[in-house]
Amino acid sequence: MPSILAKDNIFVAYYSILHMSSVLLLSFVIAYFVILLIVAWYTGRNSTNESFFIGNRNSNWMLVAFGMIGTSLSGVTFVSVPGGVGDMVNGSFKGFAYMQVTIGYLIGYCTIAFVLLPLYYRMNLTSIYNYLEHRFGNTAYKTGALFFIISRTVGATARLYLVINILQFFILDSMGVPFVVTAAVILLMILLYTFEGGVKTIVYTDTLQTSLMITGLVVCVVYILNHLHLEAGEALTQLKGKGYLNVFNFDVNSKGFFLKQIIGGAFITIAMTGLDQEMMQKNISVKKLGDSQKNVITMAIVLVGVLFLFLLLGGLLYLYGQSIGGDYNAIVKDGRTVTQFLIPDASGTPANVIGDKMFPSIALHYMPTAIGVIFIIALISALFPSADGALTALTSSFCIDLLGLQRRPELTEQKKKRIRLSVHLTFAVVFLLCVMVFYFLHNNSIVDVILDLAGYTYGPLLGLFAFGIFTKRTLPDTLAITGISLVAPVLSYFLAQHSKSWFNGYQIGIELLIINGLLTFLGLLFISKRATGSNTTA
């Protein structure tokens, strides 16, 4: 079965890669992994269950902050944010509209730093879902952990699937390596460098990978500026003149309305970072609350700068494309106008590279080989922090939350370690199976669908934590909690599907997470009782 990238033209349509050798690219990928293994061996020596789960609460806050930038981004961000700059909506370029969401990110990270982190440190949590047990009992606790496990498994394997397909198409297809072998080897490498050290290791590997990702981003920006003979200020002037610098959307009914984007960005950050065991596992591995708060705020500020660079790169890519003969073209497809950006390929045939196709197409076909190599390494570096962190966090959550490993004094430390390693290996196999499911479905939109579904799973977590923090009411320790957490995303889905016809053209976009959480909150309020005991505060 051919790679989905080759068959469905996700990124490029059978481009020749000029003088770039598949063997050369593969050698750089292998060298990259060898470095990760060396770092893992050095940091994972004499590791224990405590170092695997929370790094012995001794992680350096600056390393955690920097490494979490890579975890917050992904291979999807790496190609989608730049590619989206030149895409068009209702006759206007999307431009820098992503900055609206980024403003919301800052609000969300401040909430995490000054509301959630003090709570987690005060309760000395290893798993943040222990908070739900403290407030509401075992059912809420297990429900929160289960939603995290499902969401993170789906999201991480979807992102992993994307980068494996890129490697498969550009390197391994020409060498006759089957897709399943590529997927298995990459997962084996991730497993090897996280197997012993866990959080203690990935704090360092994420720092390395974030460094490589940002380096690749900066190199590409500098190369295009030099190639076009532009200073940064001149480039921004050209981008503004072409309409690429649009930021704020003032159409209330649009999914991109600026208030929706800012508020939605804040809640996405709170839910998908502050209520996510993978992200918080690294934060609470820092010894002091104050250092952990500095970590979050520092990371937020740097992340905003990195995302701005991605958007700048996107604008420059379209300027670069126009300099080599690229131009816009509009076609009617399924009764609607679709905008294309066409660049002549090696045979002179115009190929559409708008959106997600733009960055890899330009980097691997129209730039020097060295830039192509840097792009591949940077792409991997943008992807793997989310994959390795997810594998470690899922192992931690399953062992602590579902198996109750830390509450079983009858088990020796060695026995607990064997269980933890077995769970870690099992999740690696689950990752492989999920990646193969995505591959055999070979649907262009499957990854977007799966990532959207991941957003639905955080709504119940948002509702559960909000109900615990902002009310003093109690909940019955029954499956009604789980039922409400399952019904809320279903109702949210139907609202999103019919909002345009039901609400006079209003389209639900990024705020769906808030609606999902609110529905969960209201359901919990309905079954709750006024507090009478000591279990009333956060």
Q: Which of 352-356, 372-376, 492-496 has the lowest mean pLDDT?
A: 352-356
- Which residue would you say has higher pLDDT here, 29 or 128? 128
Question: Where do the domains of the chain lie, and which CATH numbers do they carry?
Answer: 4-445 (1.20.1730.10)
Q: Which of 218-222, 272-276, 316-320, 479-483 has the lowest mean pLDDT?
A: 272-276
Q: Which of 53-67, 146-160, 373-387, 401-415 has the lowest mean pLDDT?
A: 53-67
Residue 65, both tokens: 């902050």
**Residue 134 confidence (pLDDT) above 80:** yes
Q: Which of 48-57, 66-75, 317-326, 485-494 has the lowest mean pLDDT?
A: 48-57
Q: Which of 105-114, 358-367, 397-406 has the highest average model confidence (pLDDT)?
A: 105-114
**Residue 108 confidence (pLDDT) above 80:** yes
Residue 182, both tokens: 């590529």
The b-or-e profile of 54-80 (16+ CB within 10 A means b, else e) is bbebebbbebbbbbbbbbbbbbbbbbb
pTM (predicted TM-score):
0.77
CA 1 to chain centre: 28
Environment class of residue 518 by beta-carbon count within 10 Å: exposed (0-12), middle (13-18) or buried (19+)? middle
Average pLDDT over the chain reads: 78
Q: What is the DSSP string of 133-164?
A: HHHH-HHHHHHHHHHHHHHHHHHHHHHHHHHH
Residue 130, both tokens: 């222990």
Give residue 447's pLDDT band: very low, low, confident or very high (50, 70, 90). very low
Q: Which of 145-154, 176-185, 199-208 has the lowest mean pLDDT?
A: 199-208
**Residue 241 confidence (pLDDT) above 90:** no
316 backbone dihedrals φ, ψ, rounded to 5°:
-65, -35
Please say whether the beta carbons of 481 and 421 come within 8 A: no
Q: What is the mean pLDDT of residues 259-279?
A: 85
**Residue 250 confidence (pLDDT) above 50:** yes
Q: What is the mean pLDDT of residues 374-393?
A: 75
Give residue 19's pLDDT band: very low, low, confident or very high (50, 70, 90). very low
**Residue 288 confidence (pLDDT) above 60:** yes
SS3 412: coil
